[in-house]
Amino acid sequence: MDLSNSIESNEAHPTKQIFILSGQSNMAGRGGVKHRHWDGVVPPECSPDASKIFRLSSHLRWEVAREPLHHDIDAKKTCGVGPGMPFANAAKERVGVIGLVPCAVGGTAIKEWARGTELYESMVKRAKAAAHGGGGEIKAVLWYQGESDTSSQHDVDCYKESMERLIENVRADLDLPSLPVIQVALASGGEKYIEKIREIQKGIELPNVVCVDAKGLQLNEDNLHLSTEAQIQLGHMLAQAYLTHFLG
């Protein structure tokens, strides 16, 4: 894959510590979204920082990161506040310049992230583009997905193997065998099977995989998506997990 023309000159941007944001709608961000409209409220914890926090656009160009981070990635849905900006603001003082790579798409099941699918291949392409030409070093995948797999026993039965294979494939395809993965245990989903998916998520025992638990965080009126305040809390939880487990 030729990435020589994909990324604008890195001279304008410092070398970044790169984090891949992936999964489904709660990673893409629905904080402040009601009736398919985002209220536009950006709390201080989600504020842009033109010197420290960048995002990779859908056109593979670095730009100053600002909410909603996934507006051109999860483009068929209305995006609002997600965990990416509060994560970056909480981590930047210790991590340095941060490059966020939004990849999450709402309503997607784990099978849609298998190697060879459009979503998976796009995520790998974007991650490689972000690091290309000295753009930075990929430090971790932040993963929040599973609500779409809480509707049947069949989905539950497949989830653990599918999630572990996803992690192994991403590490292999990025040639980063020890790449940290921080996944989120669900806060919402189909009531019948949500606890089974959560148990699987908390029970993944691959090396360099940690889990933060979103259970109990405030939801929007739809009882599915995290509120703006909850997204800030989750971003801080993700930052603390990264700083504790992976930044010596």
| Given 39, 72, 157, 222, the catalytic residue | 222
| Given 25, 162, 188, 227, the catalytic residue | 25
Respond yes or no: is residue 173 known to be catalytic: no
| Given 13, 70, 71, 225, the catalytic residue | 225
Respond yes or no: is residue 25 known to be catalytic: yes
Q: Are 129 and 10 in contact (CB under 8 A)?
A: no
Per-residue CA distances from 94 to 52, 87, 88 (Å): 11, 12, 10
Rounded Cα–Cα distance for residues 103 and 118 (Å): 11
Respond yes or no: is residue 70 known to be catalytic: no
Q: Widest CA span of the chain, in angstroms?
A: 52
Q: Which residues are catalytic?
A: 25, 222, 225
